[in-house]
Chain A
């Protein structure tokens, strides 16, 4: 006889190998090579020395050894009136204050102006993930949370950009960001997105991520309203390698302000590591330097939390917590925070969901600094943490936790209307300005397309010619407004004008500014005032109604009307004739089948989609195939499966009965057993087939004859049947229990199968 091979692997590991998670690769902690999230031996100890009103040293570096970043932070970030007081406080004390709801945000913001990067990093590093999220919720500048979308596509197709921008605005995104596959297409992308963004309502701010000088020119032509490409780094060498200095970036930030364009910087863990100039410092310490620099530059906000470095940061132990910590640093420094959740950091959907949760619950100025509102293959920034594919998952998370993630479910018909209007409006502009003439076929294909792989539209070369024409003819947003108005798109023309007028007052240059309901709201007129339960941002009833309004929800009327669709067909297949009160049988070969109150009267199909007439027919056939005799009784005193079965058994001459509910749950019971100690149970009605019911009837007959029985197993693949069916099941069961009359005795039922299949039993 062969001996089985010696085991060399538990195959569970092979199963695990196949999980998407295993596509993620994980880095070992290695501070010397920059792979340390919170702490590295090379991180300095926090310290400040002030002599004769000037900084003599900061975080262990003497003033004459300052690099450019140190010099800029010392000069522009540190407030020497506050530094002695703030630096004298212990990190533990400051950490306590961050999570103490009785310490006002304003007091912590004041103290941050006197804290060095090493001190700031040391404080937030003392908070666990829950404390980081809580402190973030308290410290974020604007009370009302918001969100930002990517609007791009793989063809740089302006028609699709307009349609997708309109949808993103309809979903509630406060900012839209585009970029190009071919950089020369920037002007076309900008024009298309901005036209789409004013369909339906106005107020979504828009940016076109491109080369700095060009981005500023596109902004000056009025197409864009904000910029966030001002990258900042935590080591001097990364900075100069990135072709900038703190002064060049600060100058650029002032230039954006001078053009009335909202600006934020970009930084985040992993950037220095990716560039190879990490100085063996921890990710958090380097980011603390970036953020102090940004506050010193006077930029109103930041986009941080990994950003391009997020996938790398997520490979490091504690990486996800580090990203939360650096977001907290940003808001503690009173910067608007677009909190990452941008580049997709993992292939695991579980890690995606876990990554977003703290932000969804805590809220953020922009929960994502780039939610892919388009399909992942159309995302020209590369796939986001969430893309169009997962958008409804996000909407449901909002509903589950009653948390405002900034988005609102969009009814299907509204989405289609927005797309149609946006494509028509952009086409009118392209024609009016003699840039292009989209055909009806192109427009139609874009309106219905889920992504660019499905469109028949401009070639990328045609787009480039459109873009170059916009640029070379010096077209501006004024020309676009006139074109819209001339072609009858007056609401869109007015909306676009309202959007561009924002820059005249500059209200939206203030910290954390967005536009809601045609009003600028920011940290100034909508400040986060969290001070414990009942304070800070709360869902209004109206906002809650929006968030819970996802599509395709079930109510009792939906269930009843779904069942009623089968009523007529069932009435042709079966007649239930109730005769008299059921009595105890004498025939020792009989099996009583006890049906529930609504069975075949209000309910006509099981949750598995089987017609009740056929189910009953199979049970009867099964009993007969085992040599038994089936008798059907309708129960009124109960709708519970166990009691249906036990009551049937007690009426049965053999002492064996079957109980079955209309939803298909069935049991074999014996009159001498306790109610919940049945012989066999089919609890997974949605996957129970007619063959299973036939076998159940057969087994019941075998029990009646006291024979050996092999119980029936309904095979399950581990489906989340509860999630698929429980709402429906509970509603159906409520219909059954609504018909229960505890005082009404079971009734004898004569079945008449009138359909073709049932002829044999008449």
Chain B
């Protein structure tokens, strides 16, 4: 399949046979009959990494570089469990962790466990700024 581009927007209309949820069920197979038959789960109604990266390409093609980068960071979080997301968010809030190393460790975890390189860089940078601004005890 050719990766969708700006010309394919909205993807839900032009690509409904190829845009899939995380379990690989394409949009046009997500029907009311399939839901009532018990074949569709809430997992099938989530966005996939491919779809979000396609939206990032579309955003970039319309000159929205920062929006594209946000979608790319988001794509890295798709397979990150909810608890880890909330834990990371909590750690990024002011005064939650007391050392730069704790935040850097979380970045490393996300990089190594979930392949979230952009997110990890982003957190590393936050750790550096937090230190400069005195948000840590040390």
Interface of A toward B, CB cutoff 8 Å? 67-68, 71-72, 75-77, 79, 106, 109-110, 212-213, 216-217, 220-222, 236, 239-240, 243-245, 247-248, 250-260, 295-300, 334, 476-478, 481-482, 485-486, 490, 493-494, 497, 500-507, 509-511, 519-520, 523-525
Contact = CB atoms under 8 A, between A and B. Distances in A.
Contact of A500 (B36, B45, B95): B45
A217 B126 CA distance: 25
B80 A216 contact: no
A254 B55 contact: no
Interface of B: 6, 9-13, 15-16, 19-21, 27, 30-32, 35-36, 40-42, 44-48, 51-52, 54-55, 58-59, 62-71, 73-78, 80, 82, 85-86, 88-89, 92-95, 119, 122-123, 125-126, 129-130, 132-133, 135
Contacts of B65: 79
Contacts of A506: 11, 47, 51-52, 54-55, 71
A271 to B, nearest CB: 17
What 5 pairs across the A-B complex have the smallest Cβ distances? A298-B70, A257-B74, A260-B47, A247-B126, A258-B77
Contacts of A247: 92, 122-123, 125-126, 129-130
A506 B111 CA distance: 24
A517 B22 CA distance: 27
Contacts of A252: 89
A35 B9 CA distance: 46
A296 B70 CA distance: 9
B129 A71 contact: yes
A476 B44 CA distance: 12
A520 B16 CA distance: 14
Which of B55, B65, B66, B130 has the most A CB atoms < 10 Å from its CB? B66
Given A504-B51, A507-B55, A217 B82 contact: yes
A258 B6 contact: no
B86 to A, nearest CB: 5
B74 A258 contact: yes
Nearest to B48: A504
Main secondary structure of the interface of A (DSSP, over half): helix
B32 A497 contact: yes
B77 A476 contact: no
B32 A507 contact: no
A583 B130 CA distance: 103
Contacts of A300: 67
A299 B42 CA distance: 25
Contacts of B94: 239-240, 243-245, 248
A505 B15 contact: yes
A113 to B, nearest CB: 8
A296 B125 CA distance: 14
Given A213-B86, A251-B89, A478-B41, A510 B9 contact: yes
B32 A490 contact: yes
Contacts of A257: 47, 52, 70-71, 73-75, 77
10 contacts: A216-B86, A248-B126, A257-B70, A257-B75, A298-B70, A476-B42, A477-B45, A501-B12, A503-B46, A506-B52
